Structure 1
Amino acid sequence: MKIMITGAAGQVGRELRLALDQHELIALDRQALDLSQEQAIRQMVRKQAPQLIINAAAYTAVDLAESNVAAAFQLNAEAPGILAEEAFSLGIPLIHYSTDYVFDGSKQAPWSEEDIPHPLGVYGQSKLAGEVAIRRSGCAHLILRTSWVYALHGKNFLLTMQRLLSEREHVGVVDDQIGAPTWAGSIAQATSMLIERWQAGCTAWGTYHFSCGGSTSWFGFAQAIAAHLAAQGQLKAQLQPIASSAYPTPAKRPTNSRLDCSKLKTDWQVQLPEWQAALEQCWNSPR
């Protein structure tokens, strides 16, 4: 099948290219397609005429988004809406990745797809606007909300922690925000399974929660990374749990980012692995 992937050089985009290599891929990075240019997007889709579009591009700098509102909305809201309109014109589906940041984190239990979004900052607001634009287009779509994405490439918590824990004497990590670390490879592999289910006839389009199983805090995630480094003889730092208030950031983070992914399993028979298992798979994956 001919699949167009935007954001092909990003964390998820790179893993998608590996997981979907049996398909004909039109893998577009920011050099190949400027997603701030509406006509460029429309012309590319019409020229390539794919059978499926996967939008893995996003403005993910959560703190910078607070002062770069226009750029965040351009990439996270306007571009997905344009892709969705073009998908509708071609009569093809769009797969789009969203985020736990559409919620404010105030709920005690995991968030379900039925919960009303209430983002705390510009990043979450822009991602929610992208969801709305896709639904408004009328195209067949999967909006997949994920959380705490990491990989062995790009900029993410895993790579930052590996560096800090091997260089510093002490590292403080927030212990009062909980969620599910989700490997980009798990996202790509589960996306491949969704495509297979669709090809076999499943058309349960809509919005789904799409993170790895289980939950932990950022401190708990850091502990798992530290244990791995210790086994490699590379751990130098001592970890210290800290409160969010001790590490102020321009953008406020949700306290509870846990996502209930049971609907995905029920409707599509797809389930991402537990976060600890995915982390092991990440470390053992080809670099």
Structure 2
Amino acid sequence: MKILLFGGQGRLGTAIQNKLTQHQYVYPTSQEVNITDKEAVTNYIQKQPVNIIINLAAYNNVDAAEKDSTLADAINTQAPGYIAEATTEKNIPFVHFSTDYVFEGTKKEGYVESDQPNPINAYGKSKWLGEKKVLEKNLQAFIIRTSRLYGPPAKSPNAKRSFVDIVLDLASKESSFTINESEVSAPTLVDDIALHLQKYFLDSLPEPGIYHMSNQGGCTWFEWAKEIVDILNLPVQILPRDQNQQPRPAKRPLFSILHSTKITPMRPWQEALKNYLLHP
């Protein structure tokens, strides 16, 4: 199978290519095709003899989006719509990745695919509007929401550092540090997403619509950091920090666990994390 990946040099795109080596990949850089230019997107897709298109590109600077949402709107809302329209014209499957931040975060028990989004920050709003654009322009499209991605490094040197990388860096320099003790969501290993993507979307296509794909369970940032240092038995003390001690421009959902009810859920986040840290 030949797969076109937008955002293919990021962490998830790199994992897909590394884990699913049976496929051929096309992954243009932003210099090769500007996804915020509708004509450029349409022309590029029309020239590519691929079997499926997966959009992983996203503007994910949550706080910066709060100050200036222009770029978030262009990349997260408009661009997915352009890709969806082009895939409809070419009649090829389209998978678009989204986020748990489309939810407001009031459901402690977590969210299922049919729950109504209600984002509380500009980034989340741009992603939700992107979902709507995709489903409006391509009735056969697939939306996959996920959360808190981590895993092996991305090909792109500009890729955002994962929380695991940040904690390990702090642990190598400090004997003690604080981590936000709020915001419950699921850390998700990109390798697990790649394998699930193969099983449920590439081996054969499911029904079009919205899907949730994250490791099972949930934790706060503090609990995640504690689990990292405990697994590796690192000699460092992590202390909980109230989120109000370091206020940020954008609000975050307090509870945004994603439940998968349409495909088999992935393994628990603790199991995936342990496997990644001890058997990289």
Could you tell me whether the CA contact under 8 Å between 2:2 and 2:24 is conserved in 1? yes
Give distance in 2, aligned partners of 1:243 and 1:42.
Answer: 47
Q: Considering only aligned residues, what root-mean-square deviation do their CA atoms show, in Å?
A: 1.6
2:167 aligned residue = 161
Unaligned runs of 5+ in 1: 266-270
Contact 1:146/1:182 (<8 A) preserved: yes
Paired residues in the alignment total 274
The separation in 2 between residues aligned to 1:211 and 1:203, in whole angstroms, is: 17
- 78-87 or 237-246, which deviates more: 237-246
SS of the equivalent of 2:262 reads: helix
Deviation at 1:285, TM superposition (A): 5.8
Structure 1 match to 2:211 = 208
- Which of 245, 269, 272 lines up with 1:275 in the alignment? 269
Shift of 1:284: 5.1
Deviation, 1:173, is 1.1
Query: Which of 163, 187, 198 is the matching residue for 1:192?
Result: 198
**What is the deviation of 1:19?**
2.5
**Any unmatched runs of 5+ in structure 2?**
154-158
Q: Match of 1:82?
A: 82
Q: Aligned residues: percent identity?
A: 33
> Helix, strand or coil for the counterpart of 1:28?
coil
Secondary structure at the residue paired with 1:216? coil
Distance 1:195 1:107, change over 3 A: closer
Alpha-carbon distance in structure 1 between the residues aligned to 2:217 and 2:136: 33
Q: Choose 69-78 or 25-34, whichever is displaced more.
A: 25-34
Change (3 A) 1:34 1:283: farther
Give the CA deviation at 1:20: 2.6
Distance (Å, rounded) in 1 between the aligned partners of 2:139 and 2:17: 24
Q: Is 1:251 aligned to 2:245, yes or no?
A: no
Counterpart position of 2:178: 172
1:222 Cα deviation after fit: 0.1
Residue 149 of structure 1: how far off its partner (Å): 1.0
Distance in 2, Cα, partners of 1:185 & 1:87: 26
Once the two structures are superposed, residues 251-272 of structure 1 have per-residue CA deviations (whole angstroms, 9 ceiling, x without a partner) of 111000111112222xxxxx32
1:7-52 Cα offsets, whole Å, 9 max, x none, are 0111111111113321121122323322222222111101113220
Would the aligned equivalents of 1:185 and 1:282 in 2 still touch at CA under 8 Å?
no
5 Å-filtered alignment, 1:1-287, equals 1-153=1-153, 154=159, 155-198=161-204, 202-230=205-233, 235-265=234-264, 271-283=265-277
Q: What secondary structure, in the 3-state scheme, does the structure 2 residue paired with 1:179 have?
A: coil
Offset of residue 92 of structure 1: 1.2
- C-alpha contact 2:200 2:206 (8 A) present in aligned 1: no
CA distance in structure 1 between the partners assigned to 2:203 and 2:2 by the alignment: 16
What is the Cα deviation at residue 139 of structure 1? 4.0
- Following superposition, which runs of at least 4 residues in structure 1 exceed 3 angstroms of deviation? none
Contact 2:107 2:256 in 1 (8 A): no
Which amino acid in the other structure matches residue 205 of structure 1? P
Q: Cα deviation per residue 1:101-156 (whole Å; 9 max; x = unaligned)?
A: 00010112211122111101111000001100001013422101101111232412
SS in 1 for 2:135: helix
Shift of 1:56: 0.9
Q: Using a 3 Å threshold, how does the CA distance of structure 1 residues 40 and 16 change in structure 2: closer, same or farther? A: same
